[in-house]
Amino acid sequence: MNANEIRQKFLKFQEKHGHKVIPPAPLVLENDPTTLFTGSGMQPLLPYLLGQPHPEGTRLTDSQPSMRLQDIEDVGDPRHTTVFEMLGNWSLGDYFKEEQITNYFEFLTKEIGLDPSRIYVTCFIGNDKYGIPKDAEAAEIWQKVFKKAGINAKIAEIGSAKDGDQRGIKPGERIFFYDDKENWWSRGGGIETTPLGDPCGPDSEVFYDFGEDKQDVEKYGKSHPASDGARFMEIGNQVFMQYKRNEDGTFSELEKKNVDFGGGLERLAAAAMDSFDVFKISLMAPIVAKLEEMSHKKYDNNTDEMRIIADHLRGAYLLAAQGLMPSNKAQGYALRRLVRRAVLKALDLGIGQDFLPEILPVIEENYTDLSDDILPNRANVLAILTKEENAFRKTINKGVKELQKMAQAGQTITGHDLFKLQDTYGFPLELSVEEAYKIGVNLSKDYQAEFAQALDAQRERSKTASKGMFKGGLSDTSDQTVKYHTACHLLLAALQKEIDPSINQKGSNLTPERLRFDFNIDRKLAPEELQRVEDCVNTWIAADYPVFFAEYDKDYAFDALHAHGSFRDRYPDRVTVYAIGFGVPGDTPDTIEQIISMEICGGPHVAHTGELGKFKITKEESSSAGVRRIKAILE
């Protein structure tokens, strides 16, 4: 059974059980600045899970293309991908645990033919601090379901995944209790970071067992479902939204409880064909076969390269087919990054020019079942991505020429030299190192540390150059005032998200005790609007986003990065841009993958939003005609 067949079976199965099939959302959601891409089937439905009535009723189902670039460095193993398709079904105050668990087990075993003896499940162990009991109800339902299949399912109380690595599995155990790091859902993650007012609850994950021989005990510890090893693969997660976080931090039961189910199509297809390698399913195998043909190399000997190419170009195809263009900004940069990483891996395989014109038609064939409503720009994908490939190959050629000059001079290349190649020519570090080995250039023994030093030095130059440029109303540079300065950036972003995207800063005054923030709007904000703004800021604080900065030409900062700045004419030709969002060490504002805030500013700021504490608006008042003022504190 191939992936397309599984998708259709799932939707028809859910229709048979009273669900309405709804169309998937685009990968790039409109009017949602908090995330780069749709990362789950649940994300577009969040307003309805929070209580808004859905026009199609209380039982919904879909198949949602999704992308999570935070997994990009893990691509290369048998199961991680940046792009995937999430099969989902939802109950909005309708059925609950018993119907959900029973139906999903039926789908797995009867519809796609999985062996029930190889299915394992997890449940929430409870939390004494917040008075949330163990989810014994879900475990008991699972025991009944397994019993009907002739399986005596024993229960194991594991606790943390680390405990499981030490303990392993005992004979007959099939239902495993874990803590909130594994089996609790909220928008903030675990119990402690559940946002106030949000629905939340335990979840029950479903795993497929590919055999004890797949577990690397020395690397991952003993086998158990929450292990990082390859024996168990998650094939579905059922979230039971039955609690609400109260204003005082406690939890209470919801009157109307929701079910949010998501199961990765690629992983279900892998389980259906009894392969722990998702790159062997019908959506991936043709791409791999084409790469073998083009490179004259075998997949089994080049798994990392071929998996990365197959994954990245699949994601690039879907993004471009939905109308996204490569750029140096936000989603466009992510698309550019996927294409360039794929081209680099193609070079590793010895595949030269005209790579994308050969491989993209194979990927396109996999998605003929998706309508033009979902992929309206599919006719232009080849031209868009081929242009990007050719531009990147020119960059590569410039970098190679510079390396060759160094080789001819007989010099040892330091990390500082490699940083210059990246900073000046956009020549990636990993490619520089690989090319240096190919042409026989000597690399400094400490090139990695030297590269990091050069990067840090550039950041320090940016910081020094911007000192005093934009004090932004800071009374001093104490730690607390610096925290308030960062909170101002979050406040502006929250006002733009929750109230009006045209809001700009009109002034600020910061002390170690409070912040004062003026902004343009011609009316008083309602209490519920202020609460939404406050909640938004606290959600971003709880997410502990890192803060990045770098120096740019002023026009590039405004016109390409679209950084916020209220005083364009007053800024010098070079400005410092501070950005808050999801990224990794070494990222800069124009490369981070999930942007919350991007502003031209001289700093200083905290390193992570989690340092701020709790944000609380204390007053909203008039400042002048068309300008309002918010006062707030950090607790």
Residue 34: the pLDDT is: 54
Compute the CA torsion angle 229, 286, 89, 150 (nearest 10 deg): -60
Q: Is residue 117 in a domain?
A: yes
Tokens 């002390």, residue? 511
Indicate which CATH number applies to the domain containing 503: 3.30.980.10
Distance of alpha carbon 147 from alpha carbon 150, whole angstroms: 5
The SS3 call for residue 110 is helix
Among 352, 386, 420, the domain-final residue is: 386
- Residue 327 belongs to what domain range? 284-386
Residue 31: the pLDDT is: 56
Encoded amino acid at 254, one letter: L
Provide the domain count of the chain: 3
Among 250, 279, 308, the domain-final residue is: 279
Residue 467: the pLDDT is: 40
Q: Token digits for 232?
A: 């168990």
Distance of alpha carbon 48 from alpha carbon 311, whole angstroms: 31
Same domain, 235 and 114: yes
Residue 297 class from Cβ within 10 Å (0-12 exposed, 13-18 middle, 19+ buried)?
Answer: middle
Q: Is residue 453 in a domain?
A: no
Residue 35: the pLDDT is: 66
Same domain, 515 and 599: yes
Same domain, 275 and 294: no
Same domain, 382 and 342: yes
- Report which of 177, 275, 161 is spatially closest to residue 229, judged by C-alpha positions: 161
Per-residue DSSP letters for 139-186? HHHHHHHHHHTT---EEEEEESHHHHHHH---TTEEEEEE-HHHHEE-
Residue 69: the pLDDT is: 79
Distance of CA 320 to the CA centre of its chain: 19
Distance of alpha carbon 90 from alpha carbon 95, whole angstroms: 9
Distance of alpha carbon 311 from alpha carbon 515, whole angstroms: 46
Residue 471: the pLDDT is: 37
In this structure, how many other beta carbons lie within 10 angstroms of the beta carbon of residue 132?
22
Q: Is residue 451 in a domain?
A: no
Return all residues near 322 (Cβ < 8 A) that are at least 6 apart.
26, 27, 28, 374, 375, 376, 377
Cα dihedral 105, 106, 110, 112 sign? negative
Distance of alpha carbon 566 from alpha carbon 146, whole angstroms: 62
Distance of alpha carbon 217 from alpha carbon 165, whole angstroms: 9
Return all residues near 495 (Cβ < 8 A) that are at least 6 apart.
503, 519, 533
Q: Is residue 215 in a domain?
A: yes
Q: What is the pTM of this model?
A: 0.70
Same domain, 494 and 571: yes
Residue 582: the pLDDT is: 77
Distances (CA, A) of 447 to 406, 421, 428: 15, 13, 14
Residues in the chain: 635
562 neighbors 606 (Cβ within 8 angstroms): no
Same domain, 140 and 258: yes
Terminus-to-terminus CA distance in the chain, angstroms?
A: 56
Residue 441: the pLDDT is: 81
The SS3 call for residue 30 is coil
pLDDT, averaged per 10 consecutive residues of the chain (635 residues), comes to 92 97 84 69 80 91 88 83 93 96 98 97 96 97 98 96 94 96 86 83 96 83 90 95 89 92 95 94 95 96 95 94 82 86 88 89 87 84 92 82 83 87 73 80 88 77 43 54 91 94 86 89 92 92 84 82 78 83 70 82 83 93 88 93
Q: Is residue 431 in a domain?
A: no
Same domain, 119 and 16: yes
Distances (CA, A) of 383 to 317, 333, 587: 11, 18, 29
Per-residue DSSP letters for 518-534? EEE-SSPPPHHHHHHHH
Same domain, 78 and 217: yes
How many CA atoms are closer than 13 Å to the CA of 240, on its beta-carbon side? 23
The SS3 call for residue 502 is coil
Residue 469: the pLDDT is: 31
- Report which of 38, 208, 243 is spatially closest to residue 118, judged by C-alpha positions: 208
Distance of alpha carbon 304 from alpha carbon 291, whole angstroms: 12
Q: Token digits for 586?
A: 């070494």
Q: Is residue 203 in a domain?
A: yes
237 neighbors 262 (Cβ within 8 angstroms): yes
Tokens 């992570």, residue? 608
Per-residue DSSP letters for 82-101? SEEEEEEEEEESS--HHHHH
Q: Token digits for 241?
A: 């939204």
Same domain, 211 and 358: no
Same domain, 83 and 232: yes
Same domain, 99 and 247: yes
The kind and range of the H/E element at 394 are helix 381-409
Residue 229: the pLDDT is: 86
Q: Is residue 465 in a domain?
A: no
Among 330, 352, 386, the domain-final residue is: 386
Q: Is residue 461 in a domain?
A: no
Same domain, 82 and 10: yes
Nearest-5° Cα angle at 605, 603 to 611 = 170
